[in-house]
């Protein structure tokens, strides 16, 4: 795949998304691509020995991953050039005691993860994927599962029973109305643990129902990602927020082969959609710990080496941005209305929902000029609240100069989102300049 060919990049992004129905699968796919490019895994539990030019990656919790190529210069002199994104997306996730029967239906209880556009999850062919933990040789072991077939559905209520739906709006109670149907009680009892054992067996894992200790399972839409538009200019896919940014940062890193002066890296965090407060989220010590350990191996070793490295460093927080909506343009700030197909968006908020300031804005703009790209700008209307990203969290954790950017998109937090093909290549080109 050429990192500058628009069509091949679009296809590769859609393949990446379809291979990543959950953060667990996104990390596995990212690790596969890294290893294919010569990166080796490091274990946080073991001592590290690193040198200039080394290409390494680290995972935590099976849902966050960071990869680095060590530069030719020590990090206390050249610093880090980093891109941060997140692997998670809003969705429905199974409760621990998920099985239930009601009015002759077998159902699975779900929790709402993140800011889900609930109505988009109704009347969809849904499957189940994630991690199952079993007991093996007296120890818990995690296994990835993906049913890859229509298994569940959240059926809408017929308009005959909800006459005001088109005028009053669809009002969904997450507890009562978002419980997916698994089967008919009259067709025979279905045991979730038995289903999981069968799915594990298809993947070559032998287990009994009693071996299952826990699970982290997500519902997802089975419809494949695709392109649309009269010129095939659009992307329609789940989880564009924020797998599209994960893909851009990873692609830019892998396309940058010669060792740079500064150490380059990407970090893909979990749990951004729910505040990043976890052992592997952006609010955790995950990234700081990795940067400190790299500094110990690749600096002059003085007590202040890490602090000098951070002072030389820069982080691009890459998350998707709001394109102006043709049917709701009044909800956008009049002079900050990004358009799809017009390149990356610099996101600003003076109340620090985004980490961008004048200096980091200028830094990213300079990268755009080097790449032959013109950036756009986004600011939320003054009378509306502003979403946030890993940018302010990482900047606060590290004291690192940070800019918040993203490609413009529509239908953010829908089960199926929309972006533009040409914006992918533009973002990759700018991030390659960061890593140059």
For residues 267 and 321, state if they share a domain: yes
The answer to whether residue 305 scores a pLDDT higher than 90 is yes
| DSSP one-letter code for 276 | S
In the block, tokens 């994960």 appear at 246
Q: Which of 167, 195, 221 is the last residue of a domain?
A: 221
Report the CATH number at residue 416: 3.40.630.10
292 dihedral zone (left: phi>0; alpha: psi -120 to 50; beta): alpha
For residues 312 and 204, state if they share a domain: no
Instruction: Return the ∠ at Cα 208 (arms to 202 and 214), rounded to 5°.
Output: 90
Q: Which of 221, 254, 282 is the last residue of a domain?
A: 221
Whether residue 232 is contained in a domain is answered as no
Indicate the angle between helix axes 421-435 and 240-255, nearest 10 degrees: 50
For residues 326 and 411, state if they share a domain: yes
Q: Which of 221, 250, 276 is the last residue of a domain?
A: 221
Whether residue 102 is contained in a domain is answered as yes
d(CA 343, CA 345): 7
**Mean pLDDT, to the nearest integer, of 405-433?**
98
Q: How does pLDDT run across 187-223, given as a tens digit for each residue?
A: 988 899 999 999 999 999 999 999 999 999 999 999 9
Q: Which domain holds residue 406?
A: 6-89+238-435
Does pTM top 0.85 for this prediction?
yes
**pLDDT score of 4:** 62
**pLDDT score of 373:** 97
For residues 118 and 39, state if they share a domain: no
d(CA 111, CA 270): 17
Q: What are phi and psi of 417, to 5 degrees?
A: -110, 175
Token pair in block for residue 396? 């606060």
Q: How does pLDDT run across 272-289, given as a tens digit for each residue?
A: 999 999 999 999 999 999
For residues 215 and 255, state if they share a domain: no
Report the CATH number at residue 194: 2.30.250.10
Whether residue 233 is contained in a domain is answered as no
The answer to whether residue 2 scores a pLDDT higher than 70 is no
Whether residue 231 is contained in a domain is answered as no
319 touches 387 (CB < 8 A): no
The answer to whether residue 3 scores a pLDDT higher than 70 is no
Whether residue 230 is contained in a domain is answered as no
**pLDDT score of 188:** 87
Number of domains in the chain: 2
Q: What is the CA radius of gyration of the chain?
A: 22
| DSSP one-letter code for 400 | -
């Amino acid at each position: 795949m050429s990192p500058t060919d628009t069509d091949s990049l679009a296809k590769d992004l859609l393949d990446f998304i379809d291979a990543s129905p959950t953060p667990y699968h996104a990390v596995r796919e990212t690790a596969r691509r890294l290893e294919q490019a010569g990166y080796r895994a490091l274990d946080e539990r073991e001592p590290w020995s690193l040198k200039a030019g080394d290409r390494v990656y680290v995972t935590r919790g099976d849902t966050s991953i960071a990869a680095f190529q060590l530069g030719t210069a020590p990090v206390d002199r050249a610093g880090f050039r980093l891109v941060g994104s997140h692997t998670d997306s809003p969705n429905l996730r199974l409760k621990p005691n998920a099985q239930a029967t009601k009015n002759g239906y077998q159902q699975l209880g779900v929790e709402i993860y993140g800011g889900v556009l609930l109505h988009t999850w109704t009347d969809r062919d849904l499957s189940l994927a994630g991690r199952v933990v079993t007991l093996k040789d007296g120890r818990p072991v995690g296994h990835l599962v993906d049913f890859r077939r229509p298994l569940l559905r959240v059926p809408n209520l017929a308009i005959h029973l909800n006459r005001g739906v088109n005028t009053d709006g669809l009002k969904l109670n997450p507890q009562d109305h978002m419980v997916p149907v698994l089967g008919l009680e009259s067709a025979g009892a279905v045991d979730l643990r038995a289903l999981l054992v069968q799915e594990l067996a298809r993947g070559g894992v032998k287990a009994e129902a009693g071996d299952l200790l826990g699970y982290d399972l997500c519902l997802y839409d089975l419809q494949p990602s695709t392109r649309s538009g009269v010129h095939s200019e659009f992307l329609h896919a789940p989880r564009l927020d924020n797998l599209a940014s994960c893909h851009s940062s990873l692609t830019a890193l892998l396309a940058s082969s010669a060792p740079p002066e500064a150490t380059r890296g990407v970090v893909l965090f979990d749990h951004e959609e729910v505040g990043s407060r976890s052992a592997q989220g952006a609010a955790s010590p995950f990234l700081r710990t990795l940067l400190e350990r790299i500094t110990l191996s690749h600096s002059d070793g003085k007590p202040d080496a890490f602090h000098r490295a951070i002072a030389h460093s820069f982080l691009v927080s890459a998350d998707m941005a709001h394109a102006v909506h043709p049917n709701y343009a009044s909800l956008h700030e009049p002079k900050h209305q990004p358009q799809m197909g017009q390149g990356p968006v610099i996101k600003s908020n003076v109340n620090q929902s985004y980490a961008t300031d004048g200096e980091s804005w200028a830094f990213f703009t300079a990268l755009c000029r080097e790449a032959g790209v013109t950036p756009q700008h986004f600011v939320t209307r003054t009378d509306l609240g502003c979403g946030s990203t890993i940018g302010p969290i990482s900047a606060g954790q590290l004291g690192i100069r940070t800019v918040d950017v993203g490609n413009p998109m529509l239908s953010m937090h829908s089960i199926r989102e929309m972006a533009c093909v040409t914006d992918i290549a533009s973002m990759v080109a700018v991030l390659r300049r960061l890593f140059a």
